[in-house]
Amino acid sequence: MNIKIENLNDSWKQFTLNNDRGMSVKILNYGGIITGIFVPDKHGNVENVVVGYKDYRDYVKDPNYFGAIVGRVAGRIQDSSFTLDGQTYTVDENEGKHHLHGGRNGLHCVIWDDEIIETDSSVSVKLSYRSLEEDRGYPGNLTVAVTYTLNNDNDLIVNYEATTDKKTVLTLTNHTYFNLNGNLKETIHNHHVTVDSSRFVELDEELIPTGKILSVDKTSFDFRNGKYLADGIESPAEQNKLALNGYDHYFLFDKQKDKDVIVKEENSGRILTIKTNQPGVVIYTGNNIKNGLELAERSSEKYLGVTFETQSSPASLHNEGFPSIILEADDTYEQQTVFTFGIEK
């Protein structure tokens, strides 16, 4: 196992984590962006299974958040405001009147400090950043660290840790778009997804939660026994149409199974399993990816990747019954998501 470091310019670095089984992960110190994950298929062909740009400079103005750490708050904050202990805070408007993924210059577009960690069984890069009081309008000075670890079990472990000197709001995630076909040979219509969730969050026309949590029973949102993403992309259901034909919804985990999410792609034989201590996940099927972006393997189009954004819910700032994103001054934010890659036998 080893780590390689490439200096892309005066401030940008790319880290490549390699294990002994032919898996590698490429990560930028800019935005903590995962630019590539290379894993074998059932024939032993090692291919990239995430969406990324051919030219690293295109990440500077990326509306898709390809591979990035997003925050301080992942997802949408309704009307770009919230109230804590009677005080109202206004954050950056960057999607109409709403706040999306930490704002225009959120954690996805800062240079993180880096530290290499190597053990007998794993290799890691720890990225850290200090977000100051009123950054994008958020209260509190926030010290945050995200550690990416690769081991020989083909686990990519993402650990998040943060502290604040003032009560604030926080829910971090990684925004990697997965495509298990390999090298973006096809769209993600043929991905078979299982999710341990019996409830999902209803959205309005602006993709803001209505405050209603709905049952997945007899809907295109029932992934409990597995479903192809094509079922939702092609569904006439109102919620799929609101998301511009697909998914962009928060699912609350039941936490009844060992794995929270299982993704399979039959042609390659690749399997991705996801385990997290987060209460839910936003599944987004790349409905807004524009044509013509120069990606590592090909030109872009809709549905080239699917994200699994494990997180709490910013809807909790305006509605009861949603997983909280409040971080107290004397608490430590600690979350973990493990992405494991394998081959179906």
Angle at 303 between CA 302 and CA 306, to 5 degrees: 135
In a domain, 240, yes or no: no
Grade residue 141 by pLDDT with cuts at 50, 70 and 90.
Answer: very high
pLDDT score at 320: 95
Q: Are 140 and 153 in contact (CB under 8 A)?
A: no
In a domain, 149, yes or no: yes
User: Which of 144, 227, 134 is CA-nearest to residue 189?
Assistant: 227
Give me the residues paired with residue 249 across strands. Answer: 283
pLDDT score at 135: 87
Angle at 334 between CA 320 and CA 329, to 5 degrees: 70
DSSP run (H or E) holding 232: helix 229-233
In a domain, 231, yes or no: no
Q: Are 69 and 108 in contact (CB under 8 A)?
A: yes
Q: What is the average pLDDT across 322-344?
A: 97
CATH code for position 41: 2.70.98.10
In a domain, 210, yes or no: no
pLDDT score at 212: 98
Q: What is the average pLDDT across 282-306?
A: 97
Q: Is residue 16 scored above 80 in pLDDT?
A: yes
Helix (H, G, I), strand (E, B) or coil at 82: strand
Q: What percent of the chain has pLDDT over 70?
A: 100
pLDDT score at 195: 98
Helix (H, G, I), strand (E, B) or coil at 85: coil
User: In this predicted model, what pLDDT tens digit does every residue of 298-330 receive, in sequence order?
Assistant: 999 999 999 999 999 999 999 999 999 999 998
0.85 exceeded by pTM: yes
pLDDT score at 330: 87
The count of structural domains within the chain is: 1
Q: CA separation (Å) from 97 to 78, 80, 88, 336?
A: 8, 7, 16, 31
Q: Is residue 108 scored above 90 in pLDDT?
A: yes
Q: CA-CA distance, 90 to 83, in Å (whole number)?
A: 9
Q: What is the average pLDDT across 157-168?
A: 98
Within 10 angstroms of residue 10's Cβ, the number of other Cβ atoms is 5
Domain that residue 173 falls in: 2-189+266-343
Long-range Cβ contact pairs of 254-260 (< 8 A, separation 24 or more): 254/196, 254/197, 254/198, 254/199, 255/196, 256/196, 257/196, 259/196, 260/195, 260/196, 260/310
User: In this predicted model, what pLDDT tens digit does every residue of 184-219 receive, in sequence order?
Assistant: 999 999 999 999 999 999 999 999 999 999 999 999
Return mean pLDDT, the chain.
97
Angle at 268 between CA 266 and CA 274, to 5 degrees: 75
Known catalytic membership, residue 309: yes
Half-sphere exposure of residue 329, counting CA atoms within 13 Å on the CB side? 8
Catalytic residue among 101, 108, 175, 191: 175
Q: Is residue 234 scored above 90 in pLDDT?
A: yes
User: In this predicted model, what pLDDT tens digit does every residue of 53-106 receive, in sequence order?
Assistant: 999 999 999 999 999 999 999 999 999 999 999 999 999 999 999 999 999 999
pLDDT score at 26: 98
pLDDT score at 345: 72
Known catalytic membership, residue 175: yes
